[in-house]
Amino acid sequence: MSIKLGVSHLIWGFDLSRPDRLVRFLDDAAAIGYRGVLCFDTTVSFWLSRPDEFKKLLDDRGLELVGVILRPGLDFLGTVQLTKWVAATGGTIMVISGRDGRQEDWHISVPILQRHGEIAAQNGIQAVYHHHTYWLAETMEQTERLFAETDPAKLGGMLDCGHATRDFVGHSAQEYYERNHSRIKYVEFKDWSPETDLNTSVGQGRCDYPAVVAALRKHTYDGWVVVEQNPAGAMGGGPAREPKEAAQASYRYITETLGIGRR
């Protein structure tokens, strides 16, 4: 098993397109010890015409781009531009995550999601669908139906440990990974508790992380594990957390208690 540990900027903010906010996030991520960063499409829109400048910001801090989060719509030309930028900046992953329809829209939404994945594959990027509260595939059963009805060459899967713990009623993150490990190309370490919802540092919620890591080891997972934590108010309960402090708590739990991901 070979794991590289990255971090999403969500707890620092959804949109870090203003350069000073992005630089603060990159500085914090590097200082904690993360190897890579995951950015929302809102953040990288400012940098789409300047991939070399963005890559220099990463290189100067010893960071890599994991990839981007795409909120799916009908702008397929935008996905072409975005995935070409990800490739030019050294990233490998496009997480498809956003309000993508209701159950009655399934037959409309699924081909759209797969088309975004197909574009990503054409540009050398691995697209993965994000199972998520209120998205088209929220439950484990819905996510596995999506896998059954799409081409794995165009649309991969991911494991979001926080949303699996929150949304996969009667199931677990470990069980989902065991059942679908061949389809899962990307893993997100997020935690959940009834008190703080998804504003929970890794290891402080209900997810059984030792069991998840055992499953990753069993199936020799190679790739990125990215930490994400919601800010207070955005599916995040409890008091607001200082972003660097929260991300550092997750990093310590993962590297010291779980024993993975240290640089």
How would residue 47 be classed by pLDDT, with cut points 50, 70 and 90?
A: very high
Read off the pLDDT of each residue in 66-79 and give the average, rounded to a whole number: 98
Inform me whether the pLDDT recorded for 235 exceeds 80: no
Rounded to an integer, what distance in angstroms lies between the CA atom of residue 25 and that of residue 8?
A: 9
Rounded to an integer, what distance in angstroms lies between the CA atom of residue 209 and that of residue 190?
A: 10
Which carries the bigger pLDDT value, residue 235 or residue 177?
A: 177
152-176 pLDDT tens trace: 999 999 999 999 999 999 999 999 9
Q: Residue 232's pLDDT is what?
A: 78
3-state helix, strand, coil in the chain (%, to 5): 45, 20, 40
How would residue 193 be classed by pLDDT, with cut points 50, 70 and 90?
A: very high
Q: Which residue has the tokens 């739990």?
A: 253
Read off the pLDDT of each residue in 209-219 and give the average, rounded to a whole number: 98
What are the start-end ranges of the H helices in 90-187? 106-122, 140-148, 161-167, 173-180
Rounded to an integer, what distance in angstroms lies between the CA atom of residue 29 and that of residue 26?
A: 5
Q: Residue 237's pLDDT is what?
A: 72
Both tokens assigned to 145 = 């139906």
Non-local CB neighbours of 118 within 8 Å, separated by 6+ positions? 151, 154
CATH number of 2-257: 3.20.20.150
Read off the pLDDT of each residue in 38-67 and give the average, rounded to a whole number: 97
Q: Residue 74's pLDDT is what?
A: 97
Q: Please, are residues 108 and 72 in contact by the beta-carbon 8 Å criterion?
A: no
Query: Which of 100-114, 203-217, 228-242 is least confident?
Result: 228-242
DSSP designation for 96: E
80-98 pLDDT tens trace: 999 999 999 999 999 999 9
- In percent, the amount of the chain with pLDDT more than 90 equals 94
Whole-angstrom CA distances from 96 to 61, 114, 215 are: 27, 10, 24
Inform me whether the pLDDT recorded for 1 exceeds 90: no
Read off the pLDDT of each residue in 242-262 and give the average, rounded to a whole number: 96
Q: Please, are residues 232 and 238 in contact by the beta-carbon 8 Å criterion?
A: yes
Domain coordinates in residue numbering, the chain? 2-257
Q: Please, are residues 17 and 45 in contact by the beta-carbon 8 Å criterion?
A: yes
Read off the pLDDT of each residue in 15-44 and give the average, rounded to a whole number: 97
Whether this prediction's pTM lies above 0.85 is answered by yes
Q: Residue 85's pLDDT is what?
A: 98
- In percent, the amount of the chain with pLDDT more than 70 equals 100
Look at residue 259 and give its three-state secondary structure: coil
Read off the pLDDT of each residue in 178-190 and give the average, rounded to a whole number: 98
Q: Residue 241's pLDDT is what?
A: 84
Inform me whether the pLDDT recorded for 101 exceeds 90: yes
How would residue 238 be classed by pLDDT, with cut points 50, 70 and 90?
A: confident
Read off the pLDDT of each residue in 97-104 and give the average, rounded to a whole number: 95
Q: Residue 263's pLDDT is what?
A: 81
Rounded to the nearest integer, the mean pLDDT of the chain is 96
What letter represents residue 159's amino acid? L
DSSP output for 171-223: --HHHHHHHHTTTEEEEEE---BTTTBT---TTSSS--HHHHHHHHHHTT-EE
